Amino acid sequence: MNSEKYRITVFTPIYNRRHTIHRAFESLCRQTFKGFEWLIIDDGSTDGVKELIDEYISSADFEVRYFRKENGGKHTAWNMALKLIKSDYFICLDSDDALTDNALERMLFHWDAIPEEKWGGYWSVAGLCVDSQTGEVVGDRYPEGINEAVSPRDVATTVNGEKFSCLRTEVMKDFPFPEPEGTTFITESIVWNSVDKSYMQFYVNDPYRIYYQHEPDSLTVAWYRDHVEEGYVSNYFWKVSTVNDAGGGLKTIFQAVYYGLTAKKSPSRIISDIKGKNKLAAALMIAPAFAAKALRGKKYIK
């Protein structure tokens, strides 16, 4: 393991969230474990959030590192963060969410509880989210004994609801996000699917993230509302990743082709992006996907 100053880094990408970043900061101030740093990557904010961050830097009882870059989307901020993080583990805490008070302590507890001979096979300790209004767990809990199952990931795919993970830094540095032109958003599933092919996740029922899912300007809802066309590009890369890295039936292949056409990818490019035996299925989906695209027209495009 690394011998750096901090065991864990809290990474927060931020873009014009001055009105919500206090949630993250206040929850970090309440942490029962203090051996962490807060790494903020400002993705080109224009709302004066830097002035607020400066106040946090002067008042926090933990280290805060702030970096600014041109706007490119969360996935580009994530790639920048991977170059800066030196701790053994990190989490990505969005600028409109918060942590439960003992989240960092419990994350490290579970990492330390993994036997040394098995530790190298894991990339994530995955826990739960709780609703900001009710305090109830969002979605399902993991079933008892999931980590001893023959295929824990297959069990996890049946568990619904938002989850939150603490990631192993040295593994994640080998899996940066793609940075395709035409979108400022790439779903995290693209990376998760790739990492899951080589490493395992350790599933626990500890609540880590306080999820503000009912807010009208939540990051995901607001982004898709304001960037509909970019959403097709993002969804294309997501579905192609699912087909190539996680497997997927004909429905998923059709979705990949449909989103590709809607994102103005050529049929040859789409077939090229699909790997292995699924290429033929993708080719057969071109005509039906063109038909579906024509039927839907511009209904969902501003």
Torsion of CA 189, 193, 198, 203, to 10 degrees: 60
Q: Where in the chain is the domain with CATH 3.90.550.10?
A: 8-215
Q: Write down the pLDDT at residue 2.
A: 44
Kindly tell me the burial class for residue 48, based on how many C-beta atoms sit within 10 Å of its own C-beta (0-12, 13-18, 19 or more).
exposed
User: pLDDT tens, 106-116?
Assistant: 999 999 999 99
Q: How far apart are CA 150 and CA 94, in angstroms?
A: 33
Q: Is residue 270 scored above 60 in pLDDT?
A: yes
Contact 23, 52 (CB under 8 A): no
What residues are paired with 89 via a beta bridge? 8, 168
User: pLDDT tens, 1-49?
Assistant: 444 689 999 999 999 999 999 999 999 999 999 999 999 999 999 999 9
pTM: 0.82
- SS3 for 230? helix
Contact 159, 205 (CB under 8 A): no
Superfamily of domain covering 8-215: Spore Coat Polysaccharide Biosynthesis Protein SpsA; Chain A (3.90.550.10)
Look at 143-152, 167-176, 198-207, 251-260 and tell me which has the smallest mean pLDDT: 251-260
Q: Is residue 75 scored above 90 in pLDDT?
A: yes
What residues are paired with 38 via a beta bridge? 10, 64
Q: Is residue 223 scored above 50 in pLDDT?
A: no
The helix/strand count (H/E) of the chain reads as 13, 8
Look at 53-62, 65-74, 94-103, 263-272 and tell me which has the smallest mean pLDDT: 263-272
What is the 8-class DSSP label of residue 186? -
The stretch 251-280 carries a mean pLDDT of: 91
Q: Write down the pLDDT at residue 297.
A: 61
Residue of 105 and 299 predicted with greater confidence: 105
The stretch 211-224 carries a mean pLDDT of: 63
H helix runs in the chain, sequence order: 21-29, 49-59, 74-84, 103-113, 116-119, 152-156, 169-172, 189-195, 219-226, 228-241, 250-262, 267-273, 278-296
Q: Is residue 267 scored above 90 in pLDDT?
A: yes
Average pLDDT, the chain: 90
The stretch 152-163 carries a mean pLDDT of: 94
Q: Write down the pLDDT at residue 100.
A: 98
Q: Is residue 247 scored above 90 in pLDDT?
A: no
pLDDT bracket for residue 219 (50, 70, 90): low
Contact 114, 36 (CB under 8 A): no
How many Cα atoms sit within 13 Å of 165 on the Cβ side?
16
